């Protein structure tokens, strides 16, 4: 019982001490629930046609678009696409970054020089332009967007992880493991990766926000998946149909706010994790 009370006090203390982290988790939690419950929450079928350019009303909370589709329902379904692309892109980015960082930081020598040189070249290229080029030459769809974003977004995480791995390899417990003949794979899995957990999680959260923002940019430019409802696609058609000039704020402003809020939520989680690691404190 005492242990449970102590744990509860520690949890409440963490909640009070980290309002930014808490706010990020709440935002991400609301996004996840919205994505899961979109078919239940949405008042209309987002693909159903109706009367175009209706203003917000009881029947259509955010009005309708140029083909009469309910914008509020589009917004809810758009959460699923944006979040799905963000999370899966982050997973791919994390795998690529962790793999390259482990090889470069652990083995050093020519593998490190080769990977570092390639990483520097990739970091010198404009990410959005390269991603747009890749998406343009791949078949349109979520998978091509995920692959294109991941291939240009892994470099920053890889460099950070590589630096941390080099530090870990200089520590006595790693040197002892090597002197005892423990295999490289065991050292990486049992000692290096667990000590990289906080960095990996914080960078993964930042990767989700970056991927969601990039996906919205691609969709806004017309390189998104036309068969899916996403926040970027809503913006694309709002601007294409001159929604800004006509003053249809209920059409273009909500997706902008959703994108900003979701990116902020993941960034709050990611930056807090990175700051905690730098300060050497525990939540």
CATH number at residue 211: 1.10.3720.10
Using 50, 70 and 90 to split pLDDT, how confident is the model at 93? Answer: very high
Nearest to 85 by CA among 167, 162, 147, 6: 147
Residues 217-236: what's their mean pLDDT? 84
**Is 194 a residue whose pLDDT tops 80?**
yes
Identify the domain containing residue 256 by its residue range. Answer: 37-279
**Is 7 a residue whose pLDDT tops 50?**
no
Using 50, 70 and 90 to split pLDDT, how confident is the model at 275? Answer: low
Angle between helices 2-17 and 19-41 (to 10 degrees): 90
Provide the β-strand partners of residue 70. Answer: 64
Cβ neighbour number for residue 95 with a 10 Å cutoff? 12
Residue with tokens 């290229």: 125
3-state helix, strand, coil in the chain (%, to 5): 75, 0, 25
Could you read off the pLDDT of 141-155 as tens digits, one per residue? 788 899 999 998 999
**Is 52 a residue whose pLDDT tops 70?**
yes
Distance CA 144, CA 233 (A): 16
* 31, containing H or E segment: helix 19-41
Residue 13, in any domain of the structure: no
Residue 26, in any domain of the structure: no
Residue 257, in any domain of the structure: yes
Residue 27, in any domain of the structure: no
What pTM was computed for the model? 0.82
Distance CA 241, CA 235 (A): 10
Residue 273, in any domain of the structure: yes
- pLDDT score recorded for residue 5: 46
Residue 41, in any domain of the structure: yes
- pLDDT score recorded for residue 256: 92
Distance CA 116, CA 155 (A): 9
Distance CA 188, CA 54 (A): 59
8 Å CB contact between 184 and 167 = no
Residue 53, in any domain of the structure: yes
Residue with tokens 């791949």: 138
Distance CA 229, CA 220 (A): 12
Q: Specify the number of domains making up the chain.
A: 1
**Is 124 a residue whose pLDDT tops 90?**
no
Residue 62, in any domain of the structure: yes
Using 50, 70 and 90 to split pLDDT, how confident is the model at 170? Answer: confident
- pLDDT score recorded for residue 173: 84
- pLDDT score recorded for residue 90: 93
Q: Average pLDDT of the chain?
A: 83
Residues 175-184: what's their mean pLDDT? 81
Task: Find the angle CA(81)-CA(86)-CA(90) to the nearest 5 degrees.
Answer: 150
């Amino acid at each position: 019982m005492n242990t449970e009370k102590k744990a509860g006090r520690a949890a409440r203390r963490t909640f009070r001490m980290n309002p930014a982290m808490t706010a990020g988790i709440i935002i991400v939690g609301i996004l996840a629930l919205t994505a899961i419950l979109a078919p239940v929450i949405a008042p209309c079928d987002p693909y159903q046609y109706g009367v175009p350019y209706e203003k917000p009303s009881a029947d259509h909370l955010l009005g309708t678009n140029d083909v009469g589709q309910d914008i509020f329902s589009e917004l809810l379904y758009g959460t699923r696409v944006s979040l799905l692309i963000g999370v899966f892109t982050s997973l791919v980015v994390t795998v690529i970054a962790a793999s390259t960082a482990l090889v470069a930081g652990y083995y050093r020598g020519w593998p490190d020089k080769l990977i570092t040189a390639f990483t520097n070249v990739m970091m010198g290229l404009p990410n959005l332009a390269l991603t747009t080029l890749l998406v343009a030459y791949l078949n349109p769809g979520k998978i091509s967007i995920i692959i294109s974003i991941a291939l240009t977004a892994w470099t920053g995480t890889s460099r950070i992880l590589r630096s941390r791995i080099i530090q870990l390899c200089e520590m006595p417990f790693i040197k002892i493991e090597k002197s005892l003949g423990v295999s490289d794979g065991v050292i990486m899995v049992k000692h290096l990766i667990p000590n990289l957990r906080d960095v990996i999680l914080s960078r993964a959260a930042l990767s989700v926000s970056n991927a969601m923002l990039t996906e919205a940019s691609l969709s806004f430019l017309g390189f998104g998946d036309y068969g899916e409802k996403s926040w970027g696609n809503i913006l694309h058609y709002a601007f294409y149909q001159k929604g800004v000039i006509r003053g249809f704020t209920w059409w273009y402003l909500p997706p902008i706010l959703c994108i900003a809020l979701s990116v902020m939520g993941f960034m709050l989680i990611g930056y807090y994790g990175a700051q905690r690691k730098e300060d050497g404190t525990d939540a």
